[in-house]
Amino acid sequence: MTSPDYVVAQFHKYGINIRKVDSNTVSVSFDELSSLYHLDELIEIFINIKKRRVAEKNENAPFEMYEHRTYDAPIDSLKRTTPFLEQNVFKMKFSETNMMRYIQRLCEKDVSLTNTMIPLGSCTMKLNSAICMTPVTWYGFANMHPFAPVDQAQGYMAMIEEIEDNLVAITQYDAISSQPHSGATGEYAGLMAIKKYHESRGDHHRNICLVPTSAHGTNPATAQLCGMKIVPINCDENGNIRADEVEEKAKQFADKLSCIMITYPSTHGVFESGVKDCCDSVHKYGGQVYMDGANMNAQLGLTSPGLIGADVGHLNLHKTFSIPHGGGGPGIGSIGYKQHLEPFVPGHIEVPIEGRTTGAVAGAPYGNAGVIPISYAFIKMMGRSGLLAAAQQSILNANYMANKLEGAYKVKYRGEQGRVAHEFILDCNEFKEHGITEEDIAKRLMDYGFHAPTMSWPVVGGLMIEPTESEDVYEMDRFIDSMIAIRKEIQEIVDGT
């Protein structure tokens, strides 16, 4: 019998990678670019491998070298017999001019950063610079299969190792795993690392997760998914986590405490002044600290999760580090972690990763590696001073807008210095007695040409606004003027005019 290793080696001679599955099986994969030419080529190589093996066993057996053949038509049994693409658009006769106009009409039905600010608080919808996007189109990056032999992917591996080193410098964690596909997957990977760490020490009973009400919305959902019991932590009137309650709950559940999940700056739009005290309390009673990285763009160069005291946490490369992610992807939720968690972060059975012994959280060992060049380019071109300036600008922009809108609206939370972080919440509950909700304001904003802010979360009746560092003062003023005009319209309803 021909071994899979032999078959794989023979295909390498033709410049083709196939994958060994087990001691008896190889696997081939196809995508939308595969053609009958490729299928024919695979079949011919398999035939030649069989002939070669026969020839090796019997020197007198005839052996014909591979000659490429093509099919003139698909096999009749594979032809489609039912109707398809029946819509009128597929029956129209397009000139290039009409095709161009058709595509543009489709674009005009969407709202994107090409039209207007997208002030989605906590979602960080900022400019994805064209120069950062360009490398993903380069052949070496765009056409690498995730299971290509490692010796054929040395350039990719060098880039991944370098960006992970850069992220270590930015976050002050000990190491980075690039496997998780998203922030949610990163949360899952990080919490499972904490869970397995406790289990490795015999602490299988540690299942309490403290979750402040100012944490990111996915945090309690992920903790639940990991089999943890959620204990909420309240915030004070300024939106800060109550550090005294963290101490109280950590002490109360000391023998069962697994971790706390903190978002910093918080989803309330403030820098938690007592965040280190919260971390110290949890560590004192044997717990671990998970830091949600959704708002990492406000930390760059100013502080870091490692400095604050986090043990593990994800980074939304598709938010802070410029990968476009509207519509659900593609994302990278890299996790940073301290050294004691190394054995418990995602590994991979097909492509083993040194030091990591647990299972994968994504199909590929390095997740959405194809978009890593975007964040790599962003970090390299920004540099230390540029990343710091981005964080400072995002905070400056948010405070500019909050101060301009204060009075017309109520800014729900401010920090101890009277400032907001990189985002802020407008409390619109006062208008409800007049029949006006935050949804009405969001829809009216669309009439003014703006995408609506994040609505009704984390404060019911609130609008959470994040300008990011991308917006200039003219666009922010246009948004502010629109919101003030809407407030005047509301006042006309309040006054009965």
* Three-class HEC string of 51-62: HHHHHHHCCCCC
Is residue 83 over pLDDT 60? Answer: yes
Which pLDDT does position 66 carry in this prediction? 46
pLDDT by residue (tens digit) across 381-407?
999 999 999 999 999 999 999 999 999
What is the chain's mean pLDDT, rounded?
92
Cβ density class 186-222: b for 16+ within 10 Å, e for less: bbbbbbbbbbbbbeeeebeebbbbbbbbbbbebbbeb
The answer to whether the Cα torsion of 219, 225, 227, 231 is positive or negative is positive
What whole-number distance in Å separates Cα of residue 281 and Cα of residue 292?
A: 18
Residues of the chain with pLDDT > 70, as a percent, come to 96
Tell me where in the chain the CATH 3.90.1150.10 domain(s) lie: 391-494
Is residue 462 over pLDDT 50? Answer: yes
Q: What is the mean pLDDT of residues 351-363?
A: 89
pLDDT by residue (tens digit) across 276-322?
999 999 999 999 999 999 999 999 999 999 999 999 999 999 999 99
Q: Is 209 helix (H, G, I), strand (E, B) or coil?
A: strand
CATH code that applies to domain 135-376: 3.40.640.10
Q: What is the mean pLDDT of residues 459-466?
A: 96
Which pLDDT does position 1 carry in this prediction? 64
Give the pTM. 0.89
What whole-number distance in Å separates Cα of residue 357 and Cα of residue 359?
A: 7
pLDDT by residue (tens digit) across 27-71?
998 989 899 999 999 999 999 888 887 777 666 555 444 455 555
Tell me where in the chain the CATH 3.40.640.10 domain(s) lie: 135-376
391-494: CATH topology: Aspartate Aminotransferase, domain 1 (3.90.1150)
Which pLDDT does position 63 carry in this prediction? 45
